Amino acid sequence: MTHENPSHFDPTRPRVLVTGAAGLLGRHVVRELLHRGLQVRGLDLRQAEEPIEWQTGDITDLDCLRRAVQGCFAVLHIAARPNIWSGDGDDILRINTLGAWNAFRASEEAGIRRVVFCSSDSVAGYTVREGAMVPPDYMPVDLAHPLRATDPYALSKVLGEDIGRSFALRGLEVIALRPVFVAYPDMEGEIRARARDPEHYTGRLAGGPSSAGGGPLYNHIDPRDLARAFWLALRMKAPGTPSCPFEAFYLAAQDTLAPEPTVQRLERILGRPVEVRDPDLYRQHPYASLYDLRPARERLGFAPEFSQRHLIEQAPKPS
């Protein structure tokens, strides 16, 4: 079902489809696109308050996606079960993988030029303790590093990227964004709670929607920065190569929320030295992210503007 707000709807303006537009990330992305002057159609199971054209439906329904993409020049595919705790493994794999297939298929059928896929840093395999985490071979983790999904959510994102790459081989432009833990405002209490006693933090001690995340190194990104990255992905020049216009990017804040420098922390956790391929990065910025952010800066023009590190610096330590 489609719901249009006539005061904001102009069929002559460029339109972007945002799937998952009523979710936490989706709403930030919608607001960013509206701020940039784009017209947005939102697809979700329910409507939110943003003044856009809304279509309610399920991403596992191909006909729903076919209707949603009509008249759009690009698709930002964000809708998904958002983490390993959002359902059982069967649901996560089915919804996320089938939803990605439908989004890419409907986009190709409609002649859409570009799809931006919301992936995750969990594809690297060192994010969620409930999975069998595999430590990185070196740091910072770059785009050449092997992907080692160890839980259903991470696997669904690897499969989503593979689906996108297969459509890119057929001519669709595909950009996969791999954000780390998104530090939404309603997660501030959990971030502070973890900072007060990181060794004993068990999650959801402050009434947050989930535990403070970011893997063992507490990587994070501000939702305002992440929303801007989606906007930049719409604007960047052709991704990848002419034969396969696919490109992926890790996205994170410049620093982590960990209590100790990144290299020192990882080596302490692993109990051994770690190969550091960019020692100057961690000398100049001791709390720099585990991930290589240079491709996002050089190709997307993305440089994070926000950090939540002030939250942990303000948190009192246990007596």
Mean pLDDT, range 254-272, rounded to an integer: 96
Residue 162 pLDDT > 80, yes or no?
yes
Mean pLDDT, range 123-141, rounded to an integer: 89
Residue 40 pLDDT > 50, yes or no?
yes
The structure tokens listed for 284 are 């100049």
Q: Is 250 exposed, middle or buried (0-12, 13-18, 19+ CB in 10 A)?
A: buried
Report the pLDDT value the prediction gives residue 207, as an integer from 0 to 100: 76
Domains in the chain with CATH codes: 2-183+222-252+290-305 (3.40.50.720)
Report the pLDDT value the prediction gives residue 211, as an integer from 0 to 100: 85
- CA 275, CA 316: separation in Å to the nearest integer? 33
pLDDT tens digits, residue range 87-104?
788 999 999 999 999 999
Residue 129 pLDDT > 90, yes or no?
no
| Helix (H), strand (E) at residue 17 | strand 15-19
Mention every residue, 6+ apart, whose C-beta is less than 8 A from residue 35.
Answer: none
178: β partners: 250
Rg for the chain, CA atoms, rounded: 19
pTM: 0.93
Residue 137 pLDDT > 90, yes or no?
yes
Sign of the CA dihedral running 248, 252, 254, 258 = negative
Report the pLDDT value the prediction gives residue 6, as an integer from 0 to 100: 38
Report the pLDDT value the prediction gives residue 223, as an integer from 0 to 100: 97
Mean pLDDT, range 280-284, rounded to an integer: 97
Q: Among residues 59, 62, 248, which one has the least CA distance to residue 161?
A: 248
Report which DSSP code applies to 124. Answer: G
Mean pLDDT, range 136-140, rounded to an integer: 98
Residue with token string 């896929």 = 117
